[in-house]
Amino acid sequence: MSTAPLAFLKGHGTENDFVILPDPGNALELSPSAVARLCDRRAGIGGDGLLHVVRSAAHPEAAAMAGEAEWFMDYRNGDGSVAEMCGNGVRVFARYLQRAGLAAEGDLAVATRAGVRRVHIAKAGPDGTPGEITVGMGRALLPGGEVTVSVGDGTRPARNVNMGNPHAVVFVSDLAEAGDLHTAPEVRPASAYPDGTNVEFVADRGRRHVAMRVHERGSGETRSCGTGACAVMVAAARRDGADPAVSGRPETYAVDLPGGRLTVTERPDGEIEMTGPAEIVAEGTLDPDWLAIAFA
């Protein structure tokens, strides 16, 4: 690891926050322990995860996507583990590219471990407020099978939804029923999620309007989860008897999270679009002496 200062930024999407490390040439060796130290809220910068910004052509996991997407979002959870996708992270990633002059308002493609994601950066408002960002999240997979999640002293049925990463969606009458989500709820059978899963607890707020809390695999309870909001929208729509592939009409739900609101639409072709804000809140450099310890 070089002893030179390392540039970083900090951003969030509906308060799901991320450390951002620009590294176009993929020169950084990010061990799980280094990522966890950077995301530590007391001993590091602090974040639910880390966005490693790399040119697709420079990363072995993304090189095959370089023809479609110039930039690869090498996403890591707050504990340092690698993740396939992060919906809020993609919006913040796109906002960083816009801020750095590497992308403009309009359409953008971003490579992720779950494939290429199509992004649209809306125009800024008359007052200069940054426009919201829409991400094409791909199609939901519904593996089926019986899944349950421990809630208090009992268990509840859950819907298995895969958005490029796994989710178990549980409907409750009150979000407080979820209890403490810093520890991962028990999900059965374990074979349904061999690599662990995100768990969403969902309560109704009105027609096509739900609220949720989430335990994110590798991060604990977070203020927001973009792929989770999409999984919740699909689970709620199917519960409500709505399937755009059957009706030929798109379905849109408002999904309220502790950190804000996301709008999620499922189109008749199965594509899911998520729209919400993204902000960059700080930038700076990491101290070389601290880096030498963190990356040791």
110 pairs with which residues across the strands? 71, 117
Extended beta strands in the chain, E state: 6-13, 16-22, 49-55, 71-77, 106-112, 115-121, 133-139, 147-151, 154-162, 166-171, 187-188, 198-206, 209-216, 220-222, 251-257, 260-266, 271-276, 279-286
Q: Tell me: the pLDDT tens digits for 90-107?
A: 999 999 999 999 999 999
Q: Residues 34, 39, 73, 86: which is the catalytic one? A: 86
What is this structure's pTM? Answer: 0.91
Kindly tell me if the per-residue pLDDT of 244 is higher than 80. yes
Q: How many residues does the chain have?
A: 296
Kindly tell me if the per-residue pLDDT of 25 is higher than 90. yes
Does 217 carry a binding-site annotation? Answer: yes
Does 162 carry a binding-site annotation? Answer: no
pLDDT of 3 reads 60
Kindly tell me if the per-residue pLDDT of 112 is higher than 90. yes
pLDDT of 2 reads 53
Does 26 carry a binding-site annotation? Answer: no
pLDDT grade, residue 243 (50/70/90)?
very high
- Name the average pLDDT for the chain: 95
pLDDT grade, residue 84 (50/70/90)?
confident
Q: Residues 121, 225, 255, 272: which is the catalytic one? A: 225
pLDDT grade, residue 16 (50/70/90)?
very high
Does 226 carry a binding-site annotation? Answer: yes
Kindly tell me if the per-residue pLDDT of 1 is higher than 60. no
2-11, 30-39, 110-119: the lowest-pLDDT one = 2-11
Instruction: Report, as an integer, the average pLDDT of 47-73.
Output: 98
Kindly tell me if the per-residue pLDDT of 171 is higher than 70. yes
pLDDT of 292 reads 86
Between CA 244 and CA 229 the distance in angstroms is 17
Instruction: Report, as an integer, the average pLDDT of 73-102.
Output: 95
pLDDT of 296 reads 80
Cβ proximity of 226 and 92 under 8 Å: no
Domains along the chain? 6-132+278-294 (3.10.310.10), 147-276 (3.10.310.10)
C-alpha pair distances (Å), 206 with each of 210, 236, 252, 253, 254: 7, 12, 13, 10, 9
Is 39 annotated in the active site? Answer: no
C-alpha pair distances (Å), 199 with each of 187, 222, 280: 9, 11, 27
Does 77 carry a binding-site annotation? Answer: yes
pLDDT of 191 reads 94
C-alpha pair distances (Å), 189 with each of 9, 155, 220, 228: 40, 12, 20, 20
Is 225 annotated in the active site? Answer: yes
User: What are 127-131's contacts with CB under 8 Å, separation 24+?
Assistant: 130/95, 130/277, 130/278, 130/279, 131/105
65-69, 204-208, 219-223: the lowest-pLDDT one = 219-223
Instruction: Report, as an integer, the average pLDDT of 112-124.
Output: 95
What percentage of residues in the chain have a pLDDT greater than 70?
Answer: 99
Does 216 carry a binding-site annotation? Answer: yes
